[in-house]
Amino acid sequence: MTRWTPERRAVMDALADEILHNYGHGRVMVAIDGVDGSGTTAFAADLVERLERRGHAAFQARIDDFHAPAEKRYARGETSGAGRYEDSYDYSAFRRVLVEPFRLAGSTGFVTAFWDWRRDQPIEPTWLTAPADAILVVNGVFLQRPELRGLFSYRVWLDVPFDDAWQRLVQADPAAHDDTARARSEAGMKLYLKAVKAAELATAVYDNRDPDHPRRIFSDSC
């Protein structure tokens, strides 16, 4: 788990304050987007913690918990970039069990995890409810793709070079991140970034090469 350095705490506090100032009422969705290994899960978890410390209901969901079954994911081949970008996730399930019920508000239950990609089987659903004012922070890859446009009120892009991000994954879990997995991930991300100008579309961009010291990047910075 990332250490709470003073710099990281200040960055996350400022982001939480900005989101609550602009989107503190109603059901709101926030995206934490980035390449594989860029640190979206920890960043999202820290943001949720800071929102909760301010007395606001907040929940985290990972797009990785909405993978499609392996048969579909790898139908185009193990190293296929198109397979990674087009076939990795079940966006229909993502909308059906999470996005749509969350946005309905009221007492409607929603599920933040649907499919275990390692075991290639469904995850036993845990139904959650939330108050009228609540924020759902979703993290992962491809979150600004056209199919998801309009879902997120606030979009963060974590700027980390692919090589650096991938090395983090290798160090954390070498068996799951071999050369075949890297080829697939890199090719898929290239397709995404060609189709979607992720940093330009994002509400905020953070240099997350050093997770202990994330730094917000402004478009007019030199």
What CATH number did the domain enclosing 180 receive? 3.40.50.300
pLDDT higher than threshold 50 for residue 1: no
pLDDT higher than threshold 60 for residue 2: no
Does residue 12 fall inside a structural domain? Answer: no
pLDDT tens by residue, 79-102: 999 999 999 999 999 999 999 999
Cα 126 to Cα 138: distance, rounded to the nearest angstrom: 17
Instruction: Please choose, from the candidates 73, 7, 2, the residue with its C-alpha nearest in 3D space to the C-alpha of residue 43.
Output: 2
Give Cα separations from 101 to 23, 142, 213 (angstroms).
Answer: 19, 22, 36
Does residue 156 fall inside a structural domain? Answer: yes
Does residue 10 fall inside a structural domain? Answer: no
Does residue 151 fall inside a structural domain? Answer: yes
Decide: 84 and 98 in contact? Cβ < 8 Å.
Answer: no
pLDDT tens by residue, 8-47: 999 999 999 999 999 999 999 999 999 999 999 999 999 9
Does residue 106 fall inside a structural domain? Answer: yes
Residue 3: per-residue pLDDT = 60
Our count of domains for the chain comes to 1
- C-alpha gyration radius of the chain: 17
Where residue 39 falls (left for φ over 0; alpha for ψ -120 to 50; beta otherwise) is left
pLDDT > 90: what percent of the chain? 92
Domain span at residue 107? 28-217
Does residue 63 fall inside a structural domain? Answer: yes
Does residue 5 fall inside a structural domain? Answer: no
pLDDT tens by residue, 169-216: 999 999 899 999 999 999 999 999 999 999 999 999 999 999 999 999
Model confidence, pTM: 0.95
Does residue 21 fall inside a structural domain? Answer: no
Kind and range of the H or E run holding 192: helix 179-195
